[in-house]
C-alpha cells in the first residue's frame, strides 16, 4: 500500500500545477450556433481484478463486461465549455487469481457528470480540462456464502478531468482520437467493515481523499467517422480503491471498447448554413 506522504505530495503537486492550464485558454469568440448532442453507446469487454477484504484476502480475476452511454454537448453561448454525461453498468465475474478456484461477482452502476473547458492547441488538436462528479453504487458477492457473502459499495466524488482530442484523416476517412482521464480528488464512500450481514446496507461511510480513496478512469478512443455516424474503438481502464475500516478494496478493469457514436441533429436544410458548435468533433 502506498504511504500517505507520497499520496499527499502527489496531490499537492497536482493542485499547484493545474491552475496553469487555465492560462492556456484562448479568447476566441464564436457566434451562437447549433449545438448537436454527441452520443456514444459502447460495449466494453475485457478483464477485471478485485479484492474486497471483508469477503476475502485474495485477489479475484475474471472477465468484465459493461455498457456505457456517453453524451456531450457544448454549453450555450460564446463560452468554450462542454457538458459530459456518462452512464455505465458493469459486471465482473472471476475466480481466485492464484488458483482459479472459488467465485466472486461484482456489479457496479456509475453516473458521471462533467464540465470541461477546451482550448485549441493546434488546428486539429484540442485540450479539455474541468471537473466531474462521479456517483457509483455496487455489490460484490463471494460464493463462499456464510454470514459475509457480499458487501455493498457507494462512492460519490468530485475531481478533475482532462481530455486530449486530435483529428486526422486516414485516406479520406476522418478520425477523431481522444484520451480522457478522470481523477476524483475527494468525496464520500462506504467501506463496510464486516460485510453486509453484520454491517448493514449503509454502514462504513467515510470522507474520502487520496489517503484512503483513489479512483481513476482512463479512456483512449478513436472514432472512425462515416458520414453521420462513427465507429468507436478503444480501451478503457477503471480503478477504484478504498482503504478504510481496517479493510482494503481494489477494483481494476481493462476493457476493449467497441461502439457507435454520432451527433444527434434535427435534419434541416438550415443546418447546412448554420455554424455547428460541436462538443467533440470538428466540422
Following CA atoms 154, 158, 164, 167 in sequence, which dihedral angle do they give, to the nearest 10 degrees? Answer: 70
**Sign of the dihedral through C-alpha 59, 62, 67, 68:** positive
Identify the bridge partners of residue 116 per DSSP, sorted by sequence position. 82, 130
CA atoms within 13 A on the CB side of 108: 28
Stretch that binds another protein, among 14-22, 86-94, 165-173, 272-280 (CB under 8 A): 14-22
Based on the shown chain and the rule CB under 8 A, indicate whether residue 18 belongs to the binding site for another protein: yes
Stretch that binds another protein, among 84-92, 130-138, 191-199, 269-277 (CB under 8 A): 191-199
- Confirm if 35 and 237 have CB atoms less than 8 A apart: no
Q: At 39, is the secondary structure helix, strand, or coil? A: strand
Cβ proximity to another protein, 238 vs 263, nearer residue: 238
Q: Within positions 25 to 54, which residues make up the interface with another protein, using CB under 8 A?
A: 26, 51
Burial of 29 (0-12, 13-18, 19+ CB in 10 A): exposed
Rounded CA separation 203/152 (Å):
9
Q: Within positions 257 to 276, which residues make up the interface with another protein, using CB under 8 A?
A: none
Based on the shown chain and the rule CB under 8 A, indicate whether residue 250 belongs to the binding site for another protein: yes
Q: At 196, is the secondary structure helix, strand, or coil? A: helix
Identified binder of another protein from the candidate list 4, 6, 113, 173, rule CB under 8 A: 6
Cβ proximity to another protein, 173 vs 198, nearer residue: 198
Under rule CB under 8 A, how many of the chain's residues touch another protein? Answer: 57
C-alpha cell at 84: 459530459
Identified binder of another protein from the candidate list 65, 67, 91, 96, rule CB under 8 A: 96
What is the 8-class DSSP label of residue 156?
Answer: E
Identified binder of another protein from the candidate list 14, 15, 158, 231, rule CB under 8 A: 14
C-alpha cell at 112: 458521471
Based on the shown chain and the rule CB under 8 A, indicate whether residue 64 belongs to the binding site for another protein: no
C-alpha cell at 273: 448554413
Based on the shown chain and the rule CB under 8 A, indicate whether residue 218 belongs to the binding site for another protein: yes
Based on the shown chain and the rule CB under 8 A, indicate whether residue 252 belongs to the binding site for another protein: yes
Identified binder of another protein from the candidate list 38, 108, 150, 194, rule CB under 8 A: 194
Based on the shown chain and the rule CB under 8 A, indicate whether residue 16 belongs to the binding site for another protein: no
Stretch that binds another protein, among 85-93, 141-149, 224-232, 263-271 (CB under 8 A): 141-149
Stretch that binds another protein, among 13-21, 39-47, 221-229, 270-278 (CB under 8 A): 13-21
Identify the bridge partners of residue 186 per DSSP, sorted by sequence position. 158
Based on the shown chain and the rule CB under 8 A, indicate whether residue 15 belongs to the binding site for another protein: no
The two counts, helices (H) then strands (E), for the chain are 3, 11
Rounded CA separation 262/225 (Å):
8
Cβ proximity to another protein, 77 vs 100, nearer residue: 100
Write out the DSSP string of 179-216.
EEEEEEEEEEEE--SS-HHHH-TT--EEEE-TTTEEEE
The distance of closest approach from Cβ of residue 132 to another protein in the complex, given in angstroms and rounded to an integer, is 14
Amino acid at each position: 500500500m502506498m504511504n500517505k506522504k507520497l499520496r499527499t505530495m502527489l496531490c499537492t503537486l497536482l493542485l499547484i500545477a493545474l491552475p496553469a492550464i487555465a492560462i492556456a485558454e484562448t479568447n476566441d469568440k464564436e457566434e451562437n450556433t447549433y449545438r448537436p448532442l454527441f452520443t456514444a453507446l459502447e460495449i466494453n469487454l475485457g478483464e477485471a481484478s478485485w479484492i474486497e477484504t471483508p469477503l476475502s484476502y485474495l485477489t479475484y480475476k475474471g472477465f468484465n463486461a459493461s455498457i456505457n452511454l456517453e453524451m456531450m454537448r457544448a454549453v450555450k453561448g460564446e463560452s468554450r465549455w462542454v457538458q459530459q454525461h456518462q452512464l455505465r453498468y458493469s459486471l465482473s465475474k472471476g475466480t481466485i487469481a492464484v488458483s482459479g478456484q472459488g467465485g466472486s461477482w461484482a456489479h457496479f452502476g456509475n453516473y458521471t457528470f462533467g464540465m470541461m473547458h477546451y482550448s485549441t492547441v493546434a488546428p486539429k488538436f484540442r485540450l479539455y480540462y474541468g471537473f466531474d462528479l462521479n456517483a457509483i453504487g455496487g455489490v460484490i458477492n463471494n460464493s463462499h456464502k456464510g454470514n459475509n457473502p457480499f458487501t455493498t459499495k457507494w462512492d460519490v466524488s468530485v475531481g478533475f478531468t482532462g481530455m486530449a482530442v486530435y483529428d486526422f484523416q486516414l485516406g479520406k476517412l476522418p478520425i477523431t482520437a481522444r484520451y480522457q482521464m478522470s481523477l476524483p480528488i475527494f468525496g464520500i464512500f462506504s467501506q463496510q467493515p464486516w460485510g453486509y450481514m453484520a454491517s448493514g446496507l449503509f454502514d462504513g461511510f467515510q470522507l474520502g481523499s487520496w489517503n484512503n480513496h483513489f479512483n481513476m478512469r482512463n479512456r483512449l478512443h478513436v472514432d472512425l467517422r462515416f458520414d453521420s455516424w462513427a465507429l468507436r474503438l478503444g480501451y478503457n481502464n477503471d480503478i477504484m480503491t478504498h482503504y478504510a475500516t481496517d479493510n482494503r478494496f481494489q477494483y481494476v478493469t481493462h476493457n476493449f471498447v467497441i461502439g457507435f457514436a454520432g451527433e444527434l441533429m434535427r435534419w434541416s436544410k438550415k443546418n447546412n448554413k448554420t455554424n455547428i458548435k460541436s462538443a467533440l468533433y470538428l466540422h
